[in-house]
Structures are given as structure tokens and as C-alpha cells.
């Protein structure tokens, strides 16, 4: 059998995975019965009368989220307590039975409309674990219930970019055990919303393995297929509300290196997503108003996730009024401004680029500075240590370098190093491992030079970079 790393180099993303990857960063909105009961997990017995946002404003959610630089919203349409944020025909436990708009409201509709209006993508979280529904644990009857709900969400609410299935279940050994019909669920999703990714307990997007945004140094998108087995995800997911899952790294640290995949038979494209909350909890609690993450913590999370080949799903839980709290909105606003400042000056624009080799005239080195998103640089097949030199033409200062592989043709680069020219000698700035969709190298302080050299020190079959951006942060005097 061909060596695993060579087989790995052949694995490419599906169209829907590629589109999802470009979404980079989007919001999770945990909103539901727990918002009103001040809990993280409800047991499904709380009265629908408690659900009553007094000033619900989906448009405000979308404005705040868009202003924060996020590109979509995934809404908890139904959390573990089973309470539905849309008037589902299949249960009485929903907004229909609540005082919200006298039972005629539909949170899912309003959020999906607001997303459309503000150019955000919309995704649905539908908890497989349902503590209210009587058929849960009965097998087929619950599967039918679940598929009916999925069908409602995927037919009545416009385009859905993601269906997010949580692995959490707190039933324990003596609880109700439901064997989910995953293939049946996936079939319905593929039929009704073929472009949507199915995340976490699904074949398209992989959970990073913790809820504190602790990322791997080398986040590979090509990994063993056993990682997409839902039982594996569930085994590592939360089993009780008090479990300190957030503080632990539960899964293996090396999923994709040559060593890690050496004996793996089947490899798949299964890119990582980091899910983390802007507050300690997933749902809004007044007691956590002063524990909202600072903008610099959010920047750190962004650099590690989006800047480390993973997408970021950042939870912003609206409060009891039905709006995103001012403190969260402020944190998001400062976060977005910090990112804009960080990449303010594009130093590499207009530079000259030279590579150690080019595959042919379609794969020119100069493609890495273009924005067309189609052409990229690829080195010649026999180039063992390919490199690119970007010549600014004059001395320039910068403090971040953004590198992107052309992932449509796979993830190939295993390690790289960056150098700057100092009086005719190359001085190494840093070393790194994988690149993937995006790698952001953030330097501790600005450096200046007239050239940057990118050396690919190890790759699988073909080395290809789609984009390089060298930036200087904005300084305020
Ligand atoms: C966990 C759930 O138990 C939490 O309540 C939350 O929804 C989080 C995103 O996933 O597994």
C-alpha cells in the first residue's frame, strides 16, 4: 500500500467544506429556555410560560455580530431541554405555548431573516439529546420526530450553511438510551440542503476537542476517518453539566502528521472548528456580565484558530430581553477594530516575487500576491526545498505574515521557515509547522527589511501557496 502521507496528499475538501472554510468566523447564539431559568442545561420540565423575551430584536443580533467581523449565526433552535424556538408542528413544547408574541412568534424565522438582511450566513443547532420529548429513547419513534423537525428547519427558513449536531448527552447508564439513526438524518440534510455542512456529530466538520479554544500547534485537515465516528465524538463530549470539559484537552494532540497517520487505512478531509463562548457559560447569566472575554483574549483566540487552520465559532448569548448585552457588543466591537488595526497596512502589495521553481506558467510565484482566488503558485515536482522571495523594493516594517495554501488541491505543507534580509544575510524570523487554509504568523514586534523569504522545509507531494500577505499594524500616536 502507498505510504499514508502520500495518500493524505490526495485528499481534498468537498465543495461545501471549501465554502464553509471560507466563512472563517461566525457566531453561536445560545438562546432558549435556559436564558430565562438561568441554567446551562434544562431538564425539559420548565414551563413554556417562562420563555418571554421582552424586547426581542434579531436585527440587533445581526448588527452586533456583523460589526464584530463575524460572517454568520448558528442558532440553538432546540437545546437539550427540547424547547423549540420555532412553532414546530410536532411538539407543544415551543414558542407557540409561550407568552412571546402571544404564541405567534418564531425566533428562528426572525433570526434567519435578520441574517439574510445583513448578509450573514445562517445555521441551525438541533440537539439530538432531547430531555422533554417522550419518544426519546424509543428508537424509530424519536428518529421520526427528529427528522420531522430537521425537515421543518431545512425547508421553511431559507439557506442553511451548517447543521450543528452536539455530542453531549447526560443520560448516563440508567437514563434513556437513544440509538440515533445518523445515516437517516444525513440523508434528509443532503436532500434538502445539499450545500450545508454537518458539523461535530457529522462527516464535514470536526470538533477541536475542547471548549476553551486550546488549539493544536499543527491542525491538519486530513485525518484518520475514525475521527468522524460519532461515538468517538460523543465519548469525548460533555456528560454532565458540571463537567469541566472546558479545561481539558480531551482528544489526541497529533492527528495528522506522517507519524500519526502511518498505520491508518482511511484518511478523510475533516477540518477543525473551535467553539468557545465569549462568557464562561454558553447561555446568558447576569452573574457573568463582568466575565465577558476581553478583546485581546478574543484576538488571541482568533490568531490561534482562524490563524491556525481552524474555523472559529464564537458564542454570543443574547440576554433575557432578547438582545445581545451591551458588554458583549462592546467586546466584539473592540475585537473587530483590533483585527482591522492588526492588518492595516498591506506591505506586500506591489512587490516582486521570485520562486526557486514554478510548475508551469499557470503556477507562477506572482500569483501569491493576486486576489483572484483561483491562480496559485506551485513549485516544480523535483524541488525539494522550495522557496519564495518577496522583494518590497525598499525597506519596510511589518509584524504579521498571512500564508494560505491552495487547499482545493489538498493540504501539503508540513513545515516552513521565514527569513528577512539583513545587510545581505538571511536572518531567520521563525519556524512553523502546517499552513492549510490560513496560517497567521504574528511577530512580537515589528521587523524591517526589504525582503521576506518563505522556505518550505517539508511537504508531502506538491507545495502550493495561494496567497501571502505581509502586514504592518496601525500605530496610534
Ligand atoms: C455542549 C453542550 O452541552 C453545551 O450546553 C453547549 O451547547 C455546547 C456548545 O455543547 O456539548
CATH number for position 446 = 2.60.120.260
Q: Average pLDDT in the 284-290 region?
A: 98
Best probe residue, ligand 1, of 76, 165, 170, 211 (max atoms within 8 Å of C-beta): 211
Question: pLDDT tens digit string along 92-144?
Answer: 999 999 999 999 999 999 999 999 999 999 999 999 999 999 999 999 999 99
Q: 30 CA to middle of ligand 1, Å?
A: 9
Domain that includes residue 349, residue range: 345-472
Indicate whether 307 and 175 sit together in one domain.
yes
Residue 347: phi and psi, rounded to 5, are -70, -30
Residue 312 pairs with which residues in a beta bridge? 25, 274
Is 26 contained in some domain?
yes
Q: How far apart are CA 148 and CA 67, in angstroms?
A: 35
Indicate whether 121 and 251 sit together in one domain.
yes
Q: Which atom of ligand 1 is nearest to the CA of 167?
A: 11
284 touches 324 (CB < 8 A): no
Q: How confident is the model at residue 229 (pLDDT cuts 50, 70, 90)?
A: confident
Q: What is the pLDDT of residue 315?
A: 98
C-alpha cell at 111: 433570526
Percentage of the residues of the chain whose pLDDT score is greater than 70: 98
Q: How far apart are CA 374 and CA 394, in angstroms?
A: 29
Indicate whether 111 and 188 sit together in one domain.
yes
Is 167 contained in some domain?
yes
Residue with CA closest to ligand 1 atom 6: 282
Cα 50 to chain centroid, rounded: 32
Q: Which atom of ligand 1 is nearest to the CA of 315?
A: 9
* pLDDT at position 245 over 70: no
Is 71 contained in some domain?
yes
Q: Which among 274, 154, 260, 296 has a CA at the least distance from the CA of 205?
A: 274
Is 477 contained in some domain?
no
* pLDDT at position 247 over 80: no
Question: pLDDT tens digit string along 373-400?
Answer: 789 999 999 999 999 999 999 999 999 9
Question: Concatenated DSSP letters for 384-431?
Answer: SS-EEEEEEEEEEEEEEEEEEE-GGG---EEEEEEEEEETTEEEEEEE
Q: Which among 333, 301, 321, 325 has a CA at the least distance from the CA of 213?
A: 301
Q: Which atom of ligand 1 is nearest to the CA of 283?
A: 5
Q: How confident is the model at residue 173 (pLDDT cuts 50, 70, 90)?
A: confident
Q: How far apart are CA 416 and CA 29, in angstroms?
A: 37
CB burial readout 376-388, b (16+ within 10 A) else e: bbbbeeebeebbb
Q: How confident is the model at residue 477 (pLDDT cuts 50, 70, 90)?
A: low
Q: 311 CA to middle of ligand 1, Å?
A: 17
Q: What is the pLDDT of residue 128?
A: 97
End residue of a domain, out of 316, 342, 368: 342
Best probe residue, ligand 1, of 33, 168, 241 (max atoms within 8 Å of C-beta): 168
Indicate whether 278 and 365 sit together in one domain.
no
Q: 269 CA to middle of ligand 1, Å?
A: 24
* pLDDT at position 248 over 60: no
Indicate whether 294 and 430 sit together in one domain.
no
Q: How confident is the model at residue 233 (pLDDT cuts 50, 70, 90)?
A: confident
Q: Average pLDDT in the 142-150 region?
A: 98
Q: How far apart are CA 148 and CA 267, in angstroms?
A: 33
**Mean pLDDT, the chain, integer:** 95
Q: How far apart are CA 49 and CA 95, in angstroms?
A: 9
Is 448 contained in some domain?
yes
Q: Which atom of ligand 1 is nearest to the CA of 127?
A: 7
> Helices (DSSP H) in 130-283: which residue ranges?
140-156, 182-192, 230-236, 258-261
330 touches 278 (CB < 8 A): no
Residue with CA closest to ligand 1 atom 4: 282
Residue with CA closest to ligand 1 atom 1: 168
For the chain, give the number of residues. 477
Is 257 contained in some domain?
yes
256 touches 223 (CB < 8 A): yes
Q: 83 CA to middle of ligand 1, Å?
A: 15
Q: What is the pLDDT of residue 251?
A: 74
Q: 88 CA to middle of ligand 1, Å?
A: 22
Indicate whether 334 and 451 sit together in one domain.
no
Q: How many domains does the chain have?
A: 2
Q: Which atom of ligand 1 is nearest to the CA of 28?
A: 9
Q: How far apart are CA 387 and CA 207, in angstroms?
A: 33
* pLDDT at position 359 over 60: yes
Percentage of the residues of the chain whose pLDDT score is greater than 90: 90
CATH number of the domain residue 236 falls in: 3.20.20.80
> How many Cβ atoms are within 10 Å of 104's Cβ, its own excluded?
9
Is 365 contained in some domain?
yes
Residue with CA closest to ligand 1 atom 2: 168
Is 129 contained in some domain?
yes
Report CA dihedral (308, 419, 443, 347) to the nearest 10 degrees.
-90
Residue 75: phi and psi, rounded to 5, are -100, 135
End residue of a domain, out of 291, 307, 342: 342
Indicate whether 29 and 79 sit together in one domain.
yes
Q: How far apart are CA 435 and CA 70, in angstroms?
A: 22
Indicate whether 11 and 160 sit together in one domain.
yes
End residue of a domain, out of 292, 324, 342: 342
Q: 79 CA to middle of ligand 1, Å?
A: 8
Q: What is the pLDDT of residue 249?
A: 56
Q: What is the pLDDT of residue 230?
A: 83
Indicate whether 336 and 403 sit together in one domain.
no
Q: How confident is the model at residue 328 (pLDDT cuts 50, 70, 90)?
A: very high
* pLDDT at position 57 over 80: yes
Q: 425 CA to middle of ligand 1, Å?
A: 52
Environment class of 148 (CB within 10 Å of its CB; exposed 0-12, middle 13-18, buried 19+): middle
Cβ < 6 Å from ligand 1: which residues?
40, 166, 168, 237-238, 275, 282
Question: pLDDT tens digit string along 398-452?
Answer: 999 999 999 999 999 999 999 999 999 999 999 999 999 999 999 999 999 999 9
Indicate whether 190 and 315 sit together in one domain.
yes
84 touches 92 (CB < 8 A): no
Indicate whether 307 and 390 sit together in one domain.
no
Q: How far apart are CA 216 and CA 421, in angstroms?
A: 30
Indicate whether 204 and 157 sit together in one domain.
yes
CB burial readout 302-338, b (16+ within 10 A) else e: bbbbbbbbbbbbbbbbbbbebbbbebbbebbebbbeb
Q: 448 CA to middle of ligand 1, Å?
A: 45
Q: What is the pLDDT of residue 246?
A: 53
Q: 161 CA to middle of ligand 1, Å?
A: 20
Q: 187 CA to middle of ligand 1, Å?
A: 24
Amino acid at each position: 500500500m502507498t505510504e499514508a502521507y502520500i495518500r493524505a496528499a490526495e485528499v481534498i475538501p468537498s465543495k461545501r467544506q471549501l465554502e464553509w472554510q471560507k466563512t472563517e468566523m461566525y457566531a453561536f447564539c445560545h438562546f432558549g429556555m435556559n436564558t430565562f431559568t438561568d441554567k446551562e442545561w434544562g431538564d425539559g420540565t420548565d414551563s413554556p410560560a417562562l420563555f418571554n423575551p421582552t424586547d426581542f430584536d434579531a436585527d440587533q443580533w445581526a448588527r452586533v455580530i456583523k460589526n464584530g467581523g463575524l460572517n454568520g449565526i448558528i442558532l440553538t433552535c432546540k437545546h437539550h431541554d427540547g424547547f423549540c424556538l420555532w412553532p414546530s408542528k410536532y411538539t407543544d413544547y415551543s414558542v407557540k405555548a409561550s407568552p412571546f408574541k402571544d404564541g405567534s412568534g418564531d425566533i428562528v424565522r426572525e433570526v434567519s431573516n435578520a441574517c439574510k438582511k445583513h448578509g450573514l450566513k445562517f445555521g441551525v443547532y438541533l440537539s439530538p439529546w432531547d430531555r422533554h420529548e417522550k419518544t426519546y429513547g424509543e428508537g424509530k419513534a424519536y428518529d421520526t420526530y427528529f427528522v420531522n423537525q430537521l425537515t421543518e428547519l431545512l425547508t421553511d427558513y431559507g439557506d442553511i450553511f451548517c447543521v450543528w449536531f452536539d455530542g453531549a448527552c447526560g443520560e448516563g447508564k440508567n437514563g434513556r438510551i437513544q440509538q440515533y439513526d445518523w445515516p437517516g438524518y444525513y440523508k434528509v440534510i443532503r436532500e434538502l440542503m445539499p450545500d450545508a455542512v454537518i458539523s461535530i456529530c457529522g462527516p464535514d466538520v470536526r470538533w477541536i476537542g475542547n471548549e476553551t479554544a486550546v488549539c493544536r500547534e499543527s491542525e491538519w485537515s486530513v485525518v484518520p476517518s475514525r475521527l468522524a465516528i460519532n461515538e468517538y465524538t460523543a465519548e469525548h463530549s460533555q456528560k454532565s453539566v458540571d463537567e469541566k470539559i472546558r479545561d481539558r484537552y480531551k482528544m489526541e494532540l497529533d492527528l495528522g502528521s506522517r507519524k500519526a497517520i502511518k498505520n491508518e487505512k482511511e484518511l478523510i478531509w475533516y477540518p477543525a472548528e473551535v467553539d468557545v463562548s465569549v462568557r464562561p457559560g454558553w447561555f446568558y447569566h447576569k452573574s457573568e456580565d463582568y466575565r465577558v472575554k476581553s478583546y485581546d483574549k478574543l484576538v488571541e483566540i482568533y490568531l490561534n484558530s482562524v490563524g491556525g487552520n481552524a474555523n472559529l465559532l464564537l458564542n454570543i448569548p443574547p440576554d433575557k430581553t432578547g438582545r445581545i448585552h451591551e458588554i458583549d457588543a462592546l467586546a466584539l466591537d473592540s475585537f473587530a477594530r483590533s483585527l482591522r488595526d492588526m492588518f492595516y497596512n498591506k506591505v506586500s502589495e506591489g512587490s516582486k516575487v521570485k520562486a526557486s521553481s514554478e510548475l508551469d506558467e499557470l503556477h507562477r510565484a506572482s500569483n501569491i500576491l493576486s486576489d483572484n482566488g483561483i491562480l496559485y503558485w506551485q513549485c516544480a515536482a523535483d524541488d525539494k526545498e522550495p522557496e519564495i522571495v518577496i522583494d518590497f523594493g525598499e525597506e519596510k516594517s511589518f509584524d504579521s505574515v498571512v500564508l494560505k495554501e491552495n487547499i482545493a488541491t489538498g493540504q501539503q505543507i508540513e513545515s516552513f521557515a521565514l527569513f528577512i534580509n539583513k545587510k545581505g544575510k538571511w536572518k531567520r524570523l521563525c519556524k512553523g509547522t502546517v499552513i492549510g487554509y490560513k496560517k497567521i504568523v504574528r511577530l512580537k514586534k515589528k521587523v524591517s527589511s526589504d525582503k521576506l523569504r518563505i522556505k518550505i522545509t517539508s511537504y508531502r507531494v506538491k507545495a502550493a501557496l495561494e496567497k501571502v500577505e505581509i502586514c504592518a499594524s496601525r500605530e496610534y500616536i
